[in-house]
Amino acid sequence: MALTRKRRRREQPSGEMILTSLMDLMTIIVVFLLHSFGTQQIALAGDDELVLPVSTSLKEPKRAVAVTVTRKQILVDGQLVATLEDSVDPVTQQPTVVVAAADRVDMKITPLYNQLSEKVAEARGSGAVSDDEAFKGEVLLQCDKRVPFALVRDVMYTAGAAGFSSFRFVVVKGSG
Amino acid sequence: MLISFLLVSAQFVSFSVIDSTLPAIGEPEPVDPEKPKDPNFQLSVRVTRDGFQIVGADAVLDGQGPSRTPRVACKVSACVEAADYDFQGLTERLSLVKAQHPGEEVAVIVPDLLVQYEVLVQAMDAVREDRIVRDADQRPRPLFPNVVIAAGME
């Protein structure tokens, strides 16, 4: 009787965790996530007001000063520089957005110009860009697909005035 | 479980970029002397609420001179959203232009100010390459890959 009890005790699971397979699992997940985030040069804020258009372009994005135009705001490298105002398209009567009159002089968006000028000064002067890597004047434009071209044009004009001459429109890679 | 998670994760949105310059502000691009350039050829595509207007190459298409510019009309009476525009029609017309000027690679897009940004992006796609006609490697046939955006029209 006592012998039978001892055998039963021995057959019961010990309760120790088998870590080897768990470590394999975690390694795969970590490598996959690192690969996913490491290859993507662009970080987008989770914002419903920013829906990028789809394009057949396959060109990979590179790091550059990021100008984001949502349906509410204009941001430079994630930092708010101007708030947009709601308006109405005079032709279609559809809702649209414009830059506040106080924030602009003709096509130039003043707070955006100031911020981008600082970026240029930083890159050229204070060692943000190394000596052998010249300032290329590239800007990543992330615009909501519903904003009017007039707003995109003003942003490009302002960036051009601040010293950026090359524009990279960030789009969602679509099938072609 | 893990495999299904990874497969779902792999469908995450990936981004790409379209390069462009602003002609009024950007530095002029160096001219490649190897490629033949027609000084009279300046392809411009106007994007309006009525559709697309191809300017500067009309003589190639219909031989009627600069007064008659070819137009790719909207699918509906007036274009509001991107779905209303005939991007495939634009590509087909530009393919005819490309056949006459194979050495040209630059096209200027002139959108109306009220056109949505999405329309501009898809117009750039339609101008850059023909995705219906493909080469032996199944790559899209390039049309005018260097797209320049000009200041919009009121």
Q: Which is nearest to A80 in space by CA: A118, A103, A112, A117? A: A112
pLDDT at A50: 86
Reported ipTM = 0.75
Residue A4 Cα, gap to closest chain B Cα (Å): 40
Query: Predicted confidence band at B79 (pLDDT cuts at 50, 70, 90)?
Result: confident
Q: Which of A106, A136, A169 is the best residue to mutate to test the B interface, defined by the most B CB atoms within 10 Å of its own CB? A: A169
Scanning chain A, the segments in alpha helix (DSSP H) are 2-11, 19-39, 110-125, 149-162
Q: Tell me the pLDDT tens digit for each residue of A1-33.
A: 555 655 555 555 666 777 888 888 888 888 877
Spatial distance between the Cα atoms of B20 and B25, rounded to a whole number of angstroms? 12
Highest mean pLDDT among A52-66, A90-104, B1-15, B84-98: B84-98
pLDDT at B102: 86
Chain A partners of B17 at a C-beta cutoff of 8 Å? 57, 59-62, 140, 168-171
Residues of chain A with pLDDT under 50: 130-132
Q: Tell me the pLDDT tens digit for each residue of B18-75.
A: 877 665 444 444 445 455 566 667 888 999 888 998 887 555 555 455 556 678 888 8
pLDDT at A29: 83
Q: Taking all residues of chain B, what is their mean pLDDT, rounded to a whole number? A: 77
B12 vs A67, residue with greater confidence: A67
DSSP string, A102-128: GGEETTEEHHHHHHHHHHHHHHHHSSS
Question: Which uninterrupted H or E stretch holds B8?
Answer: helix B2-10
Chain B partners of A172 at a C-beta cutoff of 8 Å? 13-16
Residue B69 Cα, gap to closest chain A Cα (Å): 23
Contact A149, A157 (CB under 8 A): no
Residue A128 Cα, gap to closest chain B Cα (Å): 23
Contact A163, A116 (CB under 8 A): yes
pLDDT at B80: 84
Q: What average pLDDT score do residues B128-143 get?
A: 82
Residue from the list A40, A55, A148 with its beta carbon closest to the beta carbon of B114? A148
pLDDT at B27: 43
User: Is A105's Cβ below 8 Å from some Cβ in B?
Assistant: no
pLDDT at B119 over 90: yes
Scanning B35-153, the segments in alpha helix (DSSP H) are 58-62, 87-100, 117-128
Residue B53 Cα, gap to closest chain A Cα (Å): 17
CB atoms within 10 A of CB A61: 20
How many whole angstroms from its chain centre is CA A93? 31
Per-window interface: A 21-80 vs B, CB < 8 A: 25, 28-29, 32, 36, 40, 42, 44, 52-62
Q: Which is nearest to A117 in space by CA: A74, A158, A84? A: A158
